[in-house]
Amino acid sequence: MSIIVNSVKTPTGKAKKGLIAIRPDAGCIKACFPRAPFPGEKNQVKKATGIPLVDGWEDKAGNLQPSLQIELDEGKLAASGGMFNLKRFNEILVEYKLRPDLKLVESITTSDGQLPPKPQLSLMEVWDMYCEYKRHELRESHFENMYQGQYKNFLIASCGGVTVESLKKYVESQDKPK
C-alpha cells in the first residue's frame, strides 16, 4: 500500500518509483500516478478519488490503491498514445462507490418506435445535479462559496430577467431578415 505522508522513510512524501500514491492534494484526496506509464501526458497524472478528506480517509485509500496498482501494472489505465485511460479510472471509482454510476444511453425508444418525452428540468435543477456531481472534486469551502454561492446567484439573477414573453420576442427578432 502506498498512502503517503511525510516520514523518515519518505521525507518528501513521494512514493517509490512506479507506485501509485494516494494522498491529500489541494484540499482533496488524489491518486498520483507514476510518469513512466503515460509518456503522452504533458504533466504527472493526478486524479481526484472522491474520498472525502475526513478522519479515516486512509482506510478507503488503502483499499483503493492496490486495485489501481494492479490495473496500472496490467496496462489497463494506459490508453492509446501513452495517454491516461480516464474511462477505466472512473469505472474503478464506481466499483468502489466513490463516484455515481452515470451511464449514457445511446437511444431508447418506446414500443411504438417513438422517443420517450424529455424530462422537464429547470436550469436550477440541472445546476444542482451538476454541483452534486462535482462536489467530491472540490474543497468544501470553494464548493460552498463559489458553486452554491456566487455561481448560483448569477444563474438565479439571469433566470429572473427571462420570461416566456421575452424569449418569444427574442426568437422572433432573430427570425426576421436584416
Question: With bands split at pLDDT 50, 70 and 90, how would you rate the model's confidence at 6?
Answer: very low
Mean pLDDT of 9-32: 76
Give this prediction's pTM: 0.52
Q: Which residue has the cell 428540468?
A: 121
Query: Residue 100: pLDDT above 60?
Result: yes
Question: With bands split at pLDDT 50, 70 and 90, how would you rate the model's confidence at 178?
Answer: low
Residues 37-74 have pLDDT tens digits of 898 888 999 998 988 888 888 888 899 999 999 999 99
Mean pLDDT of 8-26: 71
**Cα 147 to Cα 134: distance, rounded to the nearest angstrom:** 9
**Cα 40 to Cα 84: distance, rounded to the nearest angstrom:** 8
**Cα 73 to Cα 77: distance, rounded to the nearest angstrom:** 8
Res 135: pLDDT: 82
Where in the chain are the domains?
Answer: 21-95, 123-175
Query: Residue 12: pLDDT above 60?
Result: no
The more confidently predicted of residues 106 and 148 is: 148
Query: Residue 33: pLDDT above 90?
Result: yes
Res 32: pLDDT: 92
Q: Which residue has the cell 488503502?
A: 62
- Cell output for 84: 491516461
- Cell output for 143: 464548493
Mean pLDDT of 15-31: 84
- How far does Cα 127 stand from its chain's mean position? 15
Residues 126-146 have pLDDT tens digits of 888 888 888 878 888 888 888
Mean pLDDT taken over the chain:
79
